[in-house]
Structure formats: C-alpha cells, structure tokens
Amino acid sequence: MLEEHDERRRRCARLGHEVTFRYCRTQEGESLCTRILDCWWETFGVRAFLAEHLGEDEVRRLQEHERPDKRLSILRMLEEARRRIGDSEADP
Amino acid sequence: MGTPTRIILREDEIPTQWYNIQPDLPNPLQPPLHPETGEPIGPEELAPIFPMNLIEQEVSQQRWIDIPGPVLEKLATYRPTPLQRAKALEEALGTPAKIYYKNEGVSPPGSHKPNTAIAQAYYNKEFGIKRLTTETGAGQWGSALAMACSLFGLECKVFMVRISFDQKPLRKLMMQAWNADCVASPSNETEIGRRILAEKPDTPGSLGIAISEAIEDCVRSDDTRYSLGSVLNHVMLHQTVIGLEAKRQLEMVGDYPDVVIGCAGGGSNFAGLSFPFLYDKINGRQVEVVATEPTACPTLTRGPFTYDFGDTGMTTPLLPMYTLGHDFVPPPIHAGGLRYHGMAPLVSRLVRDGLVEPRALHQNDCYESAVLFARTEGFICAPETSHAIATAIHEARRAKEEGKEKTILLNWSGHGLMDLSGYEAFFRGDLVDLALPEEDLRESLKGVEDLPKPK
C-alpha cells in the first residue's frame, strides 16, 4: 500500500521542522522530494518501498539526481519568472 | 583564578573588516557555467535579483573588506557575542580538554543569521532598494531578514512554505512584529502561486515553490531585490565576524584551538567560525577544522546510496562498517563531489582541498549531546547546533582516553526554544538510527561492487 509509511515523521533539514513521509513523497503534488532516499534511509527500507510502488527507473532517477549549484537554480527560476510575467502580461 | 566562563569583548572591539577567504584558496573557486551557453555566469546575470554591491562582494578577491559603519552600529545590538567556556560540560565528561563555544544564540532572532541579514539589508538600501523578498521554511532566516529590514527601514516580504506557516505560527508572529509581510506559499500573489493553487488548493507547498514566488515577486519591481541566507560567497563573508571575534577572545585568555567545529547545513555558520582559523591553517598553523552534519541528508560527507567511502572510522557513515564489519572499507566512488552541490561552494572547495574534514553523525547521538549540554551549561540548542556539540563531546572524550590536553572551539549557532519538537521525539524514543533492511543495503552497495576492494 502506497500510504503504508505516510504517518512516519522526521525532521526535514531543508524546512527545519518535522514533516511526515507523506509530505516527502507528495510535497509539490507532482514529484517526490529529491532527498527522500537520503533522509529516510535510516528509518525504513525506503528504497525498496519506492521501487515497489514507483518502479526501479524512478528510484534510479532519484539516486542519480545531482543537486544543482544554487546560483544556477536561482538563475533558472529567474528566467522562469520572467517568462511567467511575460505570459501573464500578454494574456489579459 | 582560572579562565573566565564568559569572555567578553567591548562594543568597540567588534571586527571592522570581514575576512574573504577567496584569495587564499589553494584552488580558486570556479564560477558555475550557464547551462545553455556553457559560459561562466557573470555578475550581470545576477543583477535583477541582487544589488551590484553584493554581487561585487560575491566575486571579490580582496582579502579584507571593510564593514560599513551603519552595519557595525546595527550589529552592536547583540555583538560582540560571548565566547563561553563550557566548564560544567568539561567536568561532566571528566576530560582534560577545554571546550569553548561561541554563543550566537544571543541575537534577537536567536541565531547567527542576522550577521548577514543586517549586511544585506544595508547594501540593498545603499543601492536604492526599498523592499526585499525571501523564502523561509521554519522561519529562522525569514525572521532574521525581517528584523534586519526593520532596522534599516526596508519593506520585507517573506514567502513561508505553507506546511511551515501552519506548523510554526510563532515564527510568523515574530516576522510580523518586525513589520514583515509573511504569507503562506503558494500564495495568490504570484503567477506561479496562483497556478499551483488552481491545480491543488490544499498543497502544503515546498521550498522550491517559495523561492520561485520570492524571485517572481522580486523581478516584478525595480525597487525590490531577493535575499538569500546561505550558500553564496557574500553570506559566508558576512558571517566571519564570528570567527574573528572568537580569535580575539581566545587571545585574551592566551589560548588557541586545536579543533574548530561547526555544523554545516548551507555552510554559513560553519564558514563564519572557521574561515578566520582556516586563514591561519593555510598559512601553516596547526588547527583541525571539522564540519558536521547528519547522516540522514548529508551534503558534505555522502548520501547513503552514493557514498564516498574511505576516510577514517569517525567520519565514514556507519552503515557499511556496521553491516559488513570493520575490515570492509569500500573505496571512493565519486570523490569529485556528486553530493557537494547543496553546500556553499566555498565550503565544498575547502573540503575537496583537504582543509576541512566533514563528519556525519546520527540524530540520537546529537540529541543526547544537546541534552547533556543543556543539563550542564543551561542553554538549549537548535537541532542543527547539536551536531557541533556532539562532535565536540567526541573530541573531548578522545582527549580523555588519550590523556591529552586539547582546546576545542565550537559554534553554538542558535537556540532551540522555537524548535522543541525534535527534543520531544527524542524523549519519547521515537528517533531511529540505522535500521536499513538487507535488500536496501545490497542495492546501495551494487554501485561499488565492481570497484577494487582495499587490502
């Protein structure tokens, strides 16, 4: 069952307070937190669990995920924000 | 009379210059390359979100940078911070080691973060900026920036991740008290927020969404800029007042550390204490510098599934040692630093150059240490700070075993009075260390099975 571990809780290093496992696997509504394996490995077999429910490819993608340089992330977000603002101004 | 418990500098002894480690790096920091052009990212590309005076600091090769008078004036509301000797902790440990801690928890928001928030608010104001935006999770950074903006008469907008907004109402009130406008993210105030809310009205939000909102808000207005409390070089620079003060305070009692310890999340509190001592180390002085972090979510050491094995027993994650025995030491598999990117580039560089030793610790060890510290020294630390305390305790115990005198210095980066739920979980016995099932272990070790095993 995908919800099996949803009520487990641990401190999120990024947010600075406790979150449930459910938050980590659904945080943005569409994707897993990219740190989900790193954060939960001490608590239960999160890798096997995710592989069972999401498939091996998804887990490998998470394992291979490289955190981008913060400056690059900010620039990417800057470009996306400009695009959004441009879209909204062009679409009254 | 022995060493005083609190070593106090006068207000006019606050350092008047920050220390910039960039010109002293054995290997210079490489700018990130633009993903589309492949060219180094230039200062002008950051100009829409940061004022040029801060961008200049970001790339500066000047070793000492003057702290402007108005910044010194505002820092003086809580600086110099005390350097304290943990005598009761030393006694409880029965160690010959001397443990000093730099108490950054005395600032109004309770952490080291205002050291850069104040500087950033000042430079933005000097550049003609009227308003700053930022994101926050639990609210440590948001409240530090809110206070700094209030001191300089700037408006402050904080996008607080909704789940944090709901869980940490007191931080939100602190920001409000400092006149900041703190909204739950995603919000209806940005395009990205509205789009996400339209699709998922009940979303708890994420730090990524909050950053996107803060940046979008910033680029909508010419007199608004974005502010970040970690990772960037100028943030590390502003924090060096911590180590510069600590050096002077230790000189007052005729001491110098054998080991300097800081916890490393985004790197700023670690950098703040350690960089002035690394200046000495680069110039030939003997001092060990240790950056500590949790075994879960490590940034500097290694992720559990992509370990760089191969350093000493204290610093290697316990998983393979525990499971396969102490003879098994898998080799490094990506010493180039796959997992290094979440950390401040300056700190990562220093780790790669061997000037800083990263260590990872389990959470129960850290909370046990935090509680021992609270029961002996009185102060209740933030969960992050507990990593530095635990490492200092390890060092002190080692000194006892070896019968050696040793001077240990740690950065007590913040109090934990707004963040006691982790202590509650620890007292309930809910914190779990190392329970990785065999199948996960086998899977995690597949990546190293083809590599040569050490003799």
3-state secondary structure of B236: helix
The domain spans of chain B are 16-68+112-234, 84-93+95-104+239-448
Contacts of A67 in chain B (CB under 8 A): 339, 341-342
pLDDT tens-digit map of B262-295: 999 889 999 999 999 999 999 999 999 999 988 7
Cα A23 to Cα A5, A7, A61, B206, distances in angstroms = 11, 9, 19, 9
In this complex, the residue of A17, A47, A88 whose CB is nearest that of residue B168 is A17
Q: What is the CB neighbour count within 10 angstroms for residue A17?
A: 20
A69/B32 Cβ within 8 A: yes
DSSP class per residue in B287-347 = -EEEEEEESSS-SSS-BTTB----S-TTTS-HHHHHHH-TT--PPPS-TTTGGGGGS-HHH
Please tell me the predicted confidence (pLDDT) of residue B39: 83
Separation of first and last alpha carbons in chain B: 53
Contacts of A39 in chain B (CB under 8 A): 296-297
Amino acid at B235: V
A39/B219 Cβ within 8 A: no
In this complex, the residue of A44, A69, A85 whose CB is nearest that of residue B341 is A69
User: Residue for token digits 């509301």?
Assistant: B77
In this complex, the residue of A9, A14, A84 whose CB is nearest that of residue B137 is A14
Q: Phi, psi (5° rounding) for residue B17? A: -135, 145
Euclidean distance between CA atoms B82 and B74, whole angstroms? 17
Whether the predicted pLDDT of B211 surpasses 90 = yes
List, in sequence order, every residue forming a beta bridge with B358; answer none if it has no partner. Answer: B291
pLDDT tens-digit map of B151-190: 999 999 999 999 999 999 999 999 999 999 999 999 999 9
Euclidean distance between CA atoms B54 and B211, whole angstroms? 19
B16-68+112-234 shares its CATH topology with B84-93+95-104+239-448: yes
Best of A9, A10, A11 to disrupt the B interface (most B CBs within 10 Å) is A11
CA of residue B345 relative to chain centroid, distance = 13
Q: Phi, psi (5° rounding) for residue B157? A: -115, 125
User: Residue for token digits 């400092």?
Assistant: B178
Quote the radius of gyration of chain A (alpha carbons, Å).
16
pLDDT tens-digit map of B398-450: 999 999 999 999 999 999 999 898 899 899 988 876 544 445 555 555 544 44
Yes or no: is domain B84-93+95-104+239-448 CATH 3.40.50.1100? yes
User: Residue for token digits 């080799």?
Assistant: B331
pLDDT tens-digit map of A44-89: 888 889 999 989 888 888 877 767 778 888 888 999 999 998 887 7
State what percent of residues in chain B have pLDDT above 90: 72
Task: Tell whether B82 lies on the interface with A, counting CB pairs under 8 A.
Answer: no
Contacts of A38 in chain B (CB under 8 A): 296-298, 303-305
- Which pairing describes strands B131-136 and B155-161: parallel, antiparallel, or unpaired? parallel
Cα B363 to Cα A40, B292, B377, B386, B413, distances in angstroms = 12, 12, 20, 9, 17
Name residues whose C-beta falls within 8 Å of residue B332's C-beta, 6 or more positions apart in sequence. B308, B309, B310
Euclidean distance between CA atoms B210 and A81, whole angstroms? 12
Residue B161 is classified by DSSP as: E
B215/A81 Cβ within 8 A: yes
Q: Which fold has domain B16-68+112-234?
A: Rossmann fold (3.40.50)
Task: Tell whether B285 lies on the interface with A, counting CB pairs under 8 A.
Answer: no
Contacts of A71 in chain B (CB under 8 A): 32, 41, 46, 232
- Identify which has the larger pLDDT, B440 or A34: A34
A-B C-beta contacts closer than 8 Å: 160
Question: Measured at the alpha carbon of residue B318, what is the angle toward residues B316 and B322, in degrees to the nearest 5?
Answer: 130
Q: Phi, psi (5° rounding) for residue B358? A: -85, 145
User: What mean pLDDT is reported for chain B?
Assistant: 86
Contacts of A16 in chain B (CB under 8 A): 137-140, 164, 383, 419
Name residues whose C-beta falls within 8 Å of residue A52's C-beta, 6 or more positions apart in sequence. none
Cα B133 to Cα B9, B265, B266, B437, distances in angstroms = 34, 22, 19, 44
Contacts of B443 in chain A (CB under 8 A): 47-48
